[in-house]
Structure 1
Amino acid sequence: MVRSEKTRQFIIEKTATIFNKKGYIGTYLSDLTNATGLTKGSIYGNFKDKNEVAVEAFRYNYKQLTKDIALKLEQVDRSDEQLLVFLDFYKREYRKVFENGGCAILNTAVDADDGNELLKEEVVKALQSWRKTIEEIVEEGIKKSELKINNTADFVIKMIAMIEGSIMLAKVLNEPQILVKNMTLLEEEIKE
């Protein structure tokens, strides 16, 4: 990694949580300079504008969120167990997700929905990727008789919505049991 790539990565890592907690509009250049210890010129010498930093911060947050899940998915073969990997992750790791400001997908989606097309595009890509992954797992599970799901598309949307909605409610209300209980309900449905 050349020096400017290292600096870019440093800026991304130092500002990712700030963007996730404060949103694009709520994050100021002073937040970026304070977090990194760099000047405005150093930040904009490595990025075109705040928008580019925000997009890279979202990508970083999303990658951090999904890397543990991806590793665990590789360790199980059965489709039902693969779906349970997602739910178990959120049951076990919700504190880490909350400390980072919540789910990067949800936070960025709300922040960018009506105003920042570049960030919205990134969120859409992330959601489409997540949706495709779960759809593939479910379809494979149905083929192998490991899952009894009547409508793949409906189940996938319900699973993603329950995860995202539960994270939001549990974090805002400071009631983690909401998330844990809803993940357990989905687990029971998968195990049927």
Structure 2
Amino acid sequence: MAKGEETRHFIIEKAAPIFNTKGIAATSMSDIMEATRLSKGSLYVHFENKEVLACAAVEHNMKILSEKLQRVLMPYKTSKEQLFAYIDFFSDPNHPPVAGGCPLLNFGTEADDTNPIVKEKVNRAIKQGQELLSGIIEKGISNKEFRADWNPSDFATVLFAMLEGGHLMARMSGNNDRMEVIVNNLKKIIEENRV
């Protein structure tokens, strides 16, 4: 990696948790300067403005989330185990896998009316998450783990929405009581659809 690319990557790594924690609007270039110990001029050599850096930080946060999730799912062979592992991965929003919380929820909430580029990045990540879940269920149906009449796309949507909603509720209340209810109900639905 060339020196310029290394510096760019370093800035993104330092900026990503700040943007995910404070939000795009509330994060200033001074915050990034403090975290990186770089001058404003150095930052602008690598990113023409805060918006460009914010988009790179959004992608970085979602990449970290995806990579961590893939590492968690990898050891499991059955679809049921993978679905349970997916649910467990997101089951403690007050100790999230990415610093600052779920980047989909954080950036999606902020960008839905203000930043079409970030909105599209989040929307794409949501679709990928639902496709991953649908694929796990489809594999389980073809392996005769799950009932043939179970709709993978519908349950992927329900699972995704319930976990994101639970994430919001847990972060607002500061405890996981409601998330535990959601986790238990999702696992119950999965068990009910086993062959």
Q: TM-score, normalization: structure 1? A: 0.92
Q: CA deviation at 1:95?
A: 4.0
Q: Which residue of 1 aligns with 2:130?
A: 131
Amino acid at match of 2:62: Y
Paired residues in the alignment total: 191
Residue 180 of structure 1 and its aligned partner are, at CA, apart by: 2.6
Q: Which amino acid aligns with 2:111?
A: A
Counterpart code for 1:136: G
Structure 1 unaligned regions, length at least 5: none
CA displacement at 1:72 relative to structure 2: 2.6
Q: Are the structure 2 counterparts of residues 76 and 98 from structure 1 closer, same or farther at C-alpha, using a change threshold of 3 Å?
A: closer
Higher helix proportion (structure 1 or 2):
1
Which residue of the partner structure matches residue 80 of structure 1? 80
What runs of 5+ residues in structure 2 fail to find an aligned partner? Answer: none
Q: CA deviation at 1:134?
A: 0.8
Identical-pair percentage: 36
- Runs (4 or more) in structure 1 with deviation over 3 Å come to 93-96
1:80, CA displacement in angstroms? 1.2
8 A contact 2:94–2:174 mirrored in 1: no
8 Å contact 2:61–2:98 — kept in the other structure?
Answer: no
Deviation at 1:188, TM superposition (A): 1.8
Q: Quick one: distance in 2 between partners of 1:133 and 1:154? A: 13
Q: What is the RMSD of the two structures over their aligned residues, measured on CA atoms?
A: 1.7
Amino acid at match of 2:163: I
* 8 Å CA contact retained: 2:94, 2:170: no
Structure 1 residues 64 and 98: alpha-carbon distance in aligned structure 2, compared to 1, 3 A threshold: closer
Cα deviation digits, residues 79-132 of structure 1 (max 9, x gap):
1111111111123x5443188222000110011111111111110111111111
Q: How far apart, in 2, do the equivalents of 1:136 and 1:19 lie?
A: 31
Q: How does 1:1-192 map to 2 (within 5 A)?
A: 1-91=1-91, 94-97=93-96, 100-148=99-147, 150-192=150-192
SS of equivalent residue, structure 1 residue 38: coil
Q: Which has the higher contact order (CA 8 A, sep 6+)?
A: 1
